[in-house]
Structure 1
Amino acid sequence: MIASIAVGAAALLAGVAQAQVTATGTMGPTNPAQATLGTAVNQTSMARLVSLNAIDDFCLFAPPEANSVIGETEAEEVAWCVQARNNARQIPDGTFTSVHFVKTPLYWQIQGLGDLTKLNIASGDEGGELDPHGATGLGNPVGGNVTTNATGTDVHYEEWMNYMSYQQFCLRICIAENSTYSAALMCQHTLDEMGCNWVMPGDYTDNSFTECDGDSAYPPGLYPLSNGSTSTFQQRYTGTYTDGSGSVGMWTQGQTVTPQTAYSTPATSNCVTYSTIGNGLAAVATGSSNSSSSSSSASASGSASSAAASGSAKAASGSGASSSKSGALPLAAGNNLFAGVFSLLAVFASAGAFLL
């Protein structure tokens, strides 16, 4: 059902990050000891450490074997990085046709389009959702970890989500929480069928590469109401159970009507536009826009689908800080905000196991 709860929405829009929310688990057994730039490239690596530092210094989770379906291999995905880092596999130049990186007070997020069959995803696979929880609580992928250098040093964060399909990706790492919204809520991991544009609203324009500052979006599925409360969408699930007498029954939870869009696309500012990104050429950004724009129109869900509040405020601490070698080619400075770039709702039956 839709749950109405009183929330001070202005606290989110004010964008005040009150705490860093760092990881408490251990490094996965196949991962390097820390995030490191300039490691050897190993296209058969099983390392599962993802970093998000810049438009041309980020990693994604994708399958280790060619022609794989995300929903069937969620526990096995490995790290693929633009730069040579983290002992991971390297993303081939030319994979992406668009990349949009936004830094907000509560999360860092990157999303875009391209030929992700180059990362072993089967052509036509509408994808799946990776997160630190998974069906067993060990993470999907098992042992997967993430870092950003949002504080100036590499910090491991507890909550993140990464949606991947054969042509679209999005990654959000929740770097802070405030008195209203926890990091777990901002990186809500149970909306695995809703798609990138619905869960992580932002700029999904093709043939475009931008890096911006931004306001934080409302948590996925949260819809502020005119009376000051909010409604929270719950993804629909059905299943069967057997009672004490041996009779089999059906259970259902969630809504039968799915909102077509996220509540809004947050404003961005200080955007820099690039002609492309890659790992072959170094360049320095030439300018940025100080203007800011906002939108109340919603962004719709896209193709990368299938996809416990933290409570405690933890101080950021990091080690092994890395500086990014830029392979981005600056084109022009400008502000970019696109609301509702896509209008189709993506709920795919091939999403695989739900991650509860």
Structure 2
Amino acid sequence: MSRSALSALLAVAAASVVLAQPDPADPTPLVDKHYAYPSGIPYQVDYNTAAIRGPQVGYNICNSTTENQQSMCQTSFVNHIDDFCLWAPPKPNSTIGDTEQEEVAWCTKPGHGTRLIPSGALTGVQLIKTPNYIQVVGFIDQTQINMAADDYGGELDPHGADLRGNPLGGLMYSNAFPSNGGNNASYQQVIDWTNFMGGSAFCMKICDPAGQNQQGLCQNIYDRLGCEYNAPNNAQNHVFEVCEGDDMSPPGIYTSNGQTMTYYQPAESLGPITTVPYTPVVPASSNCVTYQSAQLYSGQPAGTPVASSTPTAKPTGSTGNGGSGSGTRTGSAGAPSPTTNGASAMGVSTVAGLAGVLFAMAFLS
């Protein structure tokens, strides 16, 4: 499918839920704001105090002076299994639904000017490199990154009902795509990405800026379906691995009786999603390399001891509100189930889906 055809398809899908409307005070969509790293980045990407949702709460110029556990850095990175960031709240015991516009970057590695994910918080991580995207899925003690223990969370993305993104002004960069020429010192801005957080798990997908079908593979209109449909995988708790993989079928696209079909999630106002006409397929993967946590993560601050119920099965997907126009949030990044390769595939749970409805907001993305 061509990018123009896909764009038209996504526009129809978005319109069928909630039509995205740019904020008159800040009408340039976040996905159209391009900045070279690091010299071209402004202090704040979204600074208009007259905007409906207010100005950006953090900043985008981040360095050694901003690297601490109170950092408000909103410039994020996904590079490797030992070097990636997640979006999470700046204040303890928060829910994604209440704070999505102000999330800050929490990273696994020092050097980005951000907060650091505390030692031991990540209990299993799978990174998959495919021809057109990089996907990181895992299990986490989310209380260590300021999320409430019982938050089934939602989706963060560069769109939103006002196209200003969640978080507002959040930027994403990577040095890991082939088009970057293997230059670890050079970062490309990633325009298309999605991050589900909640239910003690997460999934992050970033699409190659020079790849094919970025909008389809990293689109944001299926926020209510979570990681199972947006980032199908074989992540397993207590396992840390890097694999090569095939591209997934774009969310919502499936085959029935030999025909290619498109599913659109219903509007939040119609109630919980009880059935979906297809089951997502976990793409084939190979050349997996397994690591120990201690090999990957060092230099992080110690976590706060808490009694938590870390899932022992697969993570499920936190579903937030739709990216390209949906204004509601449901779902979670919850717990996984066994697959034929002995790992576990992330799937949305009924409990997660019902709990996620509680976090619906007007400008969820």
TM-score of the pair, normalised by structure 1: 0.69
Structure 1 residue 355: deviation in Å? 4.2
User: What is residue 164 of structure 1 aligned with on the other side?
Assistant: 197
Cα contact 2:246–2:283 (8 A) shared by 1: yes
Structure 1 residue 78: deviation in Å? 0.3
Structure 1 residue 91: deviation in Å? 0.7
User: What is residue 304 of structure 2 aligned with on the other side?
Assistant: none
Which of these residues, 85, 106, 110, is aligned with residue 132 of structure 2? 106
Cα distance 1:238–1:305, how it changes in 2: closer, same or farther (>3 A)? closer
- Do structure 1's residue 115 and structure 2's residue 141 form an aligned pair? yes
Cα distance 1:52–1:256, how it changes in 2: closer, same or farther (>3 A)? same
User: What is residue 113 of structure 2 aligned with on the other side?
Assistant: 87
Deviation readout 1:200-245 (Å, 9 max, x if unpaired): 0012211100011111111112112342x32222111154xxxxxx
Q: How far apart, CA to CA, are the structure 2 residues paired with 1:73 and 1:193?
A: 17
Deviates more, 1:155-164 or 1:269-278: 269-278
Structure 1 residue 164: deviation in Å? 0.5
- Do structure 1's residue 257 and structure 2's residue 275 form an aligned pair? yes
User: What is the letter of the counterpart of residue 25 of structure 1?
Assistant: K
User: What is residue 305 of structure 1 aligned with on the other side?
Assistant: 319
Cα distance 1:124–1:255, how it changes in 2: closer, same or farther (>3 A)? closer
Percent identical: 37
User: What is residue 314 of structure 1 aligned with on the other side?
Assistant: none
Q: Gapped runs of 5+ residues in structure 1?
A: 7-21, 240-251, 282-299, 311-335
Q: Secondary structure at the match of 1:193?
A: helix
Cα contact 2:68–2:114 (8 A) shared by 1: yes
Q: How far apart, CA to CA, are the structure 2 residues paired with 1:259 and 1:302?
A: 18
Q: Which has the higher helix share?
A: 2
Q: Gapped runs of 5+ residues in structure 2?
A: 7-29, 35-40, 45-57, 301-313, 325-340
Q: How many residues align?
A: 277
Structure 1 residue 352: deviation in Å? 2.2
User: What is residue 237 of structure 1 aligned with on the other side?
Assistant: 267
Structure 1 residue 344: deviation in Å? 3.5
Cα contact 2:101–2:166 (8 A) shared by 1: yes
User: What is residue 349 of structure 1 aligned with on the other side?
Assistant: 357
Q: Secondary structure at the match of 2:223?
A: coil
Q: How far apart, CA to CA, are the structure 2 residues paired with 1:141 and 1:59?
A: 14
Structure 1 residue 121: deviation in Å? 0.3
- Do structure 1's residue 51 and structure 2's residue 77 form an aligned pair? yes
User: What is residue 292 of structure 1 aligned with on the other side?
Assistant: none
The structure that has the greater radius of gyration is 1
Cα distance 1:119–1:301, how it changes in 2: closer, same or farther (>3 A)? closer
Structure 1 residue 86: deviation in Å? 2.4
Cα distance 1:135–1:260, how it changes in 2: closer, same or farther (>3 A)? same
Cα distance 1:196–1:351, how it changes in 2: closer, same or farther (>3 A)? farther
Cα distance 1:261–1:90, how it changes in 2: closer, same or farther (>3 A)? same
User: What is the letter of the counterpart of residue 255 of structure 2?
Assistant: P
Structure 1 residue 343: deviation in Å? 7.4
Q: How far apart, CA to CA, are the structure 1 residues paired with 2:342 and 2:191?
A: 28
Cα distance 1:39–1:59, how it changes in 2: closer, same or farther (>3 A)? farther
User: What is residue 246 of structure 1 aligned with on the other side?
Assistant: none
Q: How far apart, CA to CA, are the structure 2 residues paired with 1:141 and 1:238?
A: 21
User: What is residue 270 of structure 1 aligned with on the other side?
Assistant: 287
- Do structure 1's residue 279 and structure 2's residue 279 form an aligned pair? no
Q: How far apart, CA to CA, are the structure 2 residues paired with 1:111 and 1:86?
A: 21
Which of these residues, 154, 160, 172, is aligned with residue 146 of structure 1? 172
User: What is residue 26 of structure 2 aligned with on the other side?
Assistant: none
Query: How well do the aligned residues superpose, as a CA RMSD in angstroms?
Result: 3.3
Cα contact 1:173–1:187 (8 A) shared by 2: yes
Cα distance 1:304–1:341, how it changes in 2: closer, same or farther (>3 A)? closer
Structure 1 residue 80: deviation in Å? 0.4
Cα distance 1:166–1:45, how it changes in 2: closer, same or farther (>3 A)? farther
User: What is the letter of the counterpart of residue 162 of structure 2?
Assistant: T
Q: How far apart, CA to CA, are the structure 2 residues paired with 1:253 and 1:349?
A: 9
Cα distance 1:271–1:133, how it changes in 2: closer, same or farther (>3 A)? same
Cα contact 1:265–1:339 (8 A) shared by 2: no
TM-score of the pair, normalised by structure 2: 0.67
User: What is the letter of the counterpart of residue 350 of structure 1?
Assistant: L
Q: How far apart, CA to CA, are the structure 1 residues paired with 2:278 and 2:320?
A: 16
Q: Which has the higher strand share?
A: 1
Which of these residues, 221, 231, 236, is aligned with residue 190 of structure 1? 221
